[in-house]
Amino acid sequence: MPPSEQELVLLLQKITSLTQHQGLQIGGLVAGSFTKKEQTDYILWLKEEAEKGAPEKRQVFKLICSQTQWKIVGSGLLPAGLTLSENNFADVTGDGILELLYNFSYIKKQSVDGCTILSFQKDSLEVLYHKEEQNNCQNIDWNLYPPHSDLPFIRYQLNFIDDPLEPHIIVKRFQKKYHGGTSQGAIIKQAGIDSSSFRLVYHRASRQFIQPLEVACNALDFANGKIDIRHPAVRLADQHINKNKKKSFEIEGVHRAHFSNKDQVDYLFYTNSFQNSPTRPIQRKAIKISCDGTKWSVIGILYVAANFSADNIQDVNGDGVDEIIDKQVQFQENACTKTYRILSFKNRVGQLIYTHKNQYTSCDKENPLADQTDGEPLGLDYSIHFEDINKDGIKELIQSSNEGKLTFFYDKIQDRYILQP
């Protein structure tokens, strides 16, 4: 149940005592999931004060019901000249929690116009997006305006687009333009309106709305390995790995490679590390994205080890196509297994072209992929190197252990290393 009139009076008295301002009145109250999806809170805002010397900004509070009693658990400030209603609250981040969206326009020494998106999940307002501009509107010589010049009268508008592929917000800006007249009244009456707009998308990792880059598909992008969350390829990778809303991943890096064929540039975007259970290896998701000359496309996904780097991408057999060397450690109760894999990433998933496992009585959990181990080997201890034995340009894999050496030849048809008969 919402707060009763008596409870609201008590809350208002508390607000008055805290702010030391008399004559405060409640401007509105709206219910919704502001802290978490399964919890209904209330947002309460005050009316603007009319007295001289009143605060320039308005106050807003978050209320929760705890042990049958309504309490103020958060507060913030809103700009003057703002009209609020339940239409200002919507889930624009896709997490099931409501945000506050509003446009503002007021005049002090200058005309101030803008728009804002706020979150009230915590005990204070968190700014997810803010746009503001100030224009001189005092002591204007109305006779000096040249034709089609900008007038200092601007309005912003936020429109949420619930797109299933990528929800976004359209920010529209309207500005009056001079069309004629020599007095203030005549100029404003004859003015036209110029409009422009741009798009915002939500970036979950930074908890910010960003304006995406509208750039042409270019296979030379990311040659320096730097990530820009506004770039269409990064946003595509982020959307692909975050299809499941229950778990959030962040793109942490990118490597340039030739996975599909020696003539095609691919980019491997990898995420933050994660572990499904204490005994499972620590992994990262990796997305293969390529530019076909017109657009970026996701063309593969696999999992790599936590210490994945550019050194793990190598053309191991010398055919001009890169492979992925993946080293992972799995812990058991009294032992551990180190798995060495070579993966081909020509297709949508990684294809195993070679693997061996070394088992030990224990491993260093602080540095699990170090060459040295604390425990004794359990069985054979394998190592490898590559060598073009028959000088045909394709390297063979030489596997060594304490029982000797084995030679593996790369089979192009099967796309894997085959043990020499």
332-387 pLDDT, tens digit per residue, is: 877 888 999 999 999 999 999 999 999 888 877 766 656 656 678 888 889 999 99
How many domains does the chain contain in total? 3
Tell me if 28 sits within 8 A of 12, measured CB to CB.
Answer: no
Domain assignment present for residue 32? The answer is yes
Query: Per residue in 32-67, pLDDT tens?
Result: 999 999 899 999 988 866 554 444 677 899 998 887
3-14: b (≥16 Cβ within 10 Å) or e: beeeebeebbee
> Are 164 and 39 members of one domain?
no
Burial per residue of 219-243, b for 16 or more beta-carbon CB atoms within 10 angstroms, e otherwise: bebbeeeeeebebbbbbbbbebbbe
Domain with 148 in it: 94-116+131-211
State whether 155 and 136 are in the same domain: yes
Residues 205 and 343 in one domain: no
Same domain, 220 and 207: no
Residues 22 and 156 reside in one and the same domain: no
* Co-location of 40 and 112 in the same domain: no
Question: Taking the model in full, what pTM does it have?
Answer: 0.79
164 and 255 in one domain?
A: no
The reply to whether 147 falls in a domain is yes
Domain edge (last residue) among 185, 211, 237 = 211
Task: Indicate if 353 and 286 belong to the same structural domain.
Answer: yes
Task: Answer yes or no: do 365 and 260 share one domain.
Answer: yes
Band (142; pLDDT cuts 50, 70, 90): confident
For residue 199, tell me if it sits in a domain: yes
CATH of the domain at 45: 3.10.450
Based on the fold, state whether residues 251 and 154 are members of the same structural domain.
no
| Tens digits of residue pLDDT in 76-135 | 988 877 888 999 999 999 889 999 999 998 887 888 899 999 999 999 999 999 999 998
Q: Are residues 218 and 206 in the same domain?
A: no
Q: Is the pLDDT of residue 3 over 70?
A: yes
Q: What is the pLDDT of residue 128?
A: 97
Query: Does a structural domain hold residue 415?
Result: no
Q: Do the domain assignments include residue 386? A: no
Asked if residue 339 and residue 222 are part of one domain, the reply reads yes
